[in-house]
Amino acid sequence: MREINVTQKLEKSKDFLRKLQEESGQDPGQCFQCMKCTGGCPVQFAMDYPPSQIMRMLQDGLVDEVLNSFTIWTCATCSTCTARCPRDIDIAQLMDTLRVMAFHKRRFNKAKNMRVFHTVFMDSIGSHGRLYEVGLALGLNLGTGNLLQDTDIGLPMFMKGKLSLLPHNIKGMNEIKRLYDYAKKIGE
């Protein structure tokens, strides 16, 4: 087992933890480790650290470990944890803020699929104003290298008239562009 000096870790990570608290409006220090979040989490089996452990790691200043975790990316934001937390912490909101912070720091570690998906998705809206599903599927499969993912459902979708082969651009694309440019300008 690795030893850590919690005092040093907390000193080193205090700016990050203050920012996390400001942006999420949540204080991980309130967690008393009852583990109800972990008990009810429907995705816990796919995580590297259960949600309650993420909370404990934040209390101990283990920021790098949290930002590099797969947990923050595979959380489905179902908010079961938030609904059941006896300390009223919006844990799903904390996970969301951690994802945003990891995205800005380009920390993806094992979350390559998520990096590709979110990037292609946001690019699609930035280009068309609406999601272009064929473009998303192509971009996702090429980016992740999972070339055959969901090819079995593409044809049935098309046959049912659910797949549009060409993108649809909204009229107000200039507004969407302004929103994207502004997001880049303020770094959010």
Where along the sequence are the contacts to other proteins (CB under 8 A)? 23, 42-43, 45-46, 73-74, 76-80, 82-83, 88, 90, 92, 96, 99-100, 103-104, 111, 113-114, 117-118, 121-122, 125, 129-131, 133, 140, 149, 152-153, 156-157, 160-164, 168, 170-172, 175-176, 178-183, 186, 188
Minimal distance, residue 30 CB to other proteins, in Å: 15
CB of 14 to other proteins, least distance (A): 22
Kindly tell me which of 47 and 57 has the beta carbon lying closer to other proteins: 47
Residues 96, 103 contacting (CB under 8 angstroms) = no
Smallest separation, CB 64 to other proteins (Å) = 20
The encoded tokens of residue 38 equal 């972990």
Q: Quick check: helix, strand or coil at residue 90?
A: coil
The residue type found at 98 is L
Closest CA to 126 of 71, 75, 182, 84: 182
If the CB atoms of residues 17 and 43 are measured against other proteins, the closer one turns out to be 43
60 or 167: whose CB is closer to other proteins?
Answer: 167
Q: Minimum distance from CB of 182 to other proteins (Å)?
A: 4
Please report where in the chains the tokens 């949540």 appear, as a residue: 26
Amino acid in the structure at residue 105: K
Q: Which helix (H) or strand (E) holds 38?
A: helix 36-40
Task: Give the C-alpha separation, 49 to 55, whole Å.
Answer: 10
Smallest distance, Å, CB 7 to other proteins?
Answer: 31
- Cβ closer to other proteins: 44 or 53? 44
Measured CA to CA, the distance from residue 111 to residue 73 in angstroms comes to 6
Between 61 and 98, name the residue whose CB sits nearer to other proteins.
Answer: 98
Token readout for 49 is 């650290």
The vertex-68 CA angle with 13 and 25, nearest 5°, equals: 55
